[in-house]
Amino acid sequence: MISALFPLARPLLHGLDAETAHDLTLRALALLPPRTPAAADPRLTIDLFGKRFPNPVGLAAGFDKGARVPDAMLGLGFGFVEVGGVVPRPQPGNPKPRVFRLAGDRAVINRFGLNSEGLDAVADRLRARQGRGGVVGVNIGANKEAVDRLADYVACTRSLAPLVDFITVNISSPNTPGLRDLQGEAFLDDLLARTIAARDEAHPGTAVLLKIAPDISLDALDAMTATALRRGVQALVVSNTTVARPDFLTEKRIAGETGGLSGRPLFAPSTRLLAETFLRVGRQIPLIGVGGIDSAEAAWTKIRAGANLIQLYSALVYEGPGLVETIKSGLSARLKAEGLSGLEAVIGRDANELTKLAG
């Protein structure tokens, strides 16, 4: 029903500024009664870091920053949900307006600046949903004014590790000044060491993931993947939003807004980086492909580039929640056409080719 209503609601939502429309969407989702999604095609099941994912299609961080509707999103058919980003102390983020639709490009620019209700509010909501099932993770960051940013990641990890299946260390948001500096090799090594130690103390069964930016050089990628492997990170998330502005964007005026660009224009660069990452880590560490996924074909390409799982968010603005089932059915159709019993044989099989993806 929700998917059927979206075409009617979209003109109304898009008549509002993007942040207001998103807030109204969250409020509506919070009112939904509990819902068990339809059984997924067993060929889409993925087992990673001790968790069973009923399908590989996940909700990316940023949609549900406050952990208000993870169960509603699981009920819409997502195989897993990542809430957040979360920082220890409440912070309002950047001044409004701070999120912009580029409808002609099927894209979004945001400069939220990790607006967050803070660690305590999110922990309370995650604690309240314990025992409901479903794979739920949380994306963590540092307060803008933090004196010791590494300590912020440790605080979030200690509090949230017992409440979620995975924690994603976000060092790649372009909207918090200096945050991407933590991608440097020495900083990253210390950050991961302290975060994983905090996880081990709080709840060893929770996986630690690392989310990287699409704008890094291949030399930086070499260093980051080596550090992640050495420290025992359990998956890499490739990638966050980009500060680049491709020449082909049609919404030139809006493209001039500062912030991270997501959606369809991010597909090619994020997929190239995903393929490059797979060539460096192979099967040693799972990869989660993010960026520009708005169709089953795009999802299939991410898997061919090396993704074990995928995540989407911006495409929901344009395609609505029905996109989740569209992608799942499209992946099933691909497996059937190729006579495959699961996605494992597809993961990374075309990584070499996709490092040269045009766009």
Query: 131, 101 in Cβ contact below 8 A?
Result: no
By C-alpha distance, which of 156, 168, 85 is closest to 119?
156
Instruction: Return the SS3 of 30.
Output: helix
Instruction: Return the SS3 of 33.
Output: coil
In DSSP terms, which residues pair with 72 in a beta bridge?
A: none
By C-alpha distance, which of 217, 346, 209, 188 is closest to 287?
209
Q: Residue 92 and residue 74: Cα distance in Å, rounded? A: 27
Q: Catalogue the active-site residues.
A: 173
CB atoms within 10 A of CB 137: 27
Look at strands 309-312 and 57-59 and give their pairing. parallel
Instruction: Return the SS3 of 326.
Output: helix
Q: Residue 286 and residue 282: Cα distance in Å, rounded? A: 8
Q: Residue 147 and residue 100: Cα distance in Å, rounded? A: 31
